[in-house]
Amino acid sequence: MSNQMTNTKKLDQLPEAARDRIQQLRLLFIERSIEQLSQIRQFLDERARAEEPRAKDADLIKLAHSMVGASGIFGFQDLGNAAFKLENTLREPGYNEADFLRAADDLIGHHTMLG
């Protein structure tokens, strides 16, 4: 929490043009994340219907990984943590399907935090 307050103070010290640009980037991040969460939902639906359900894992790893870093930068630490958990679960050899589904549901649940 104090880290977020420190970041807010630092942002307040920036010139208005820089603050505006950061806000624009944050909005682009939100838009992109909403699209990525939608793609993850689509992959989960395809995965549920597939004969080889883990065939979409590489795509899911890529999407989750791309959300991890930028989430913290733009103030969405919980989203980043959920994406990190999904990515790590998928990278475990022979991962537990129930753990995967919990991690996927948790990540998708962050959709409402973005809108």
Q: CB within 8 A of 74, min separation 6: which ones?
A: 25, 26, 29, 30
How would you write the pLDDT of the chain (115 residues) with one tens digit per residue?
445 555 567 778 889 998 899 899 999 999 999 999 999 999 999 888 888 878 889 999 999 999 998 898 888 999 999 999 999 999 999 999 999 999 999 999 988 777 6
> What pTM did the predictor assign?
0.82
Q: Say how far apart CA 39 and CA 60 lie, in whole Å.
A: 9
